[in-house]
């Protein structure tokens, strides 16, 4: 069976973060420095719920680069950051950062 786009993006980001892809509840990637939730363009808004409770920086990564502006707009006034499917940070997370 072919891997879904979500699984491919999550797997690549997990490898880049030095973490494992978590298919269960909570963030898809729980790295030592940050948590990342991968979402399809239709489910961008669901990422906030999956990232609740994390004290370190948190990010939503859309599976499609065309959905990045939608994600940035959705999380504009939150502590949640946005990351491209490649791992490039588009909007920094302010959660867990020292002031």
User: Burial letters for 49-58: b for 16+ Cβ neighbours within 10 Å, e otherwise?
Assistant: ebbeebeebb
What's the average model confidence in pLDDT over 6-33? 92
| The pLDDT of residue 73 is above 60 | yes
**The total number of residues written for the chain in this structure:** 99
**CA distance linking residue 25 with residue 88, whole number of Å:** 24
| The pLDDT of residue 81 is above 70 | yes
pTM of the model: 0.92
Confidence at 3, pLDDT banded by 50, 70, 90: confident
Q: Provide the pLDDT for residue 24.
A: 85
Domain ranges for the chain: 5-91
Confidence at 96, pLDDT banded by 50, 70, 90: confident
Q: Where are the alpha helices (DSSP H) in 20-74?
A: 47-50, 68-74
């Amino acid at each position: 069976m072919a891997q879904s786009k979500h699984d491919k993006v999550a797997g690549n980001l997990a490898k880049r973060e030095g973490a494992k892809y978590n298919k269960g509840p909570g963030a898809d990637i729980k790295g030592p420095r940050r948590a990342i939730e991968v979402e399809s363009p239709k489910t961008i808004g669901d990422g906030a719920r999956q990232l609740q409770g994390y004290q370190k920086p948190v990010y939503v990564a859309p599976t499609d680069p065309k959905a990045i502006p939608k994600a940035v707009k959705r999380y504009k006034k939150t502590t949640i950051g946005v990351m491209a499917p490649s791992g490039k940070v588009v909007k920094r997370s302010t959660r867990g950062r020292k002031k």
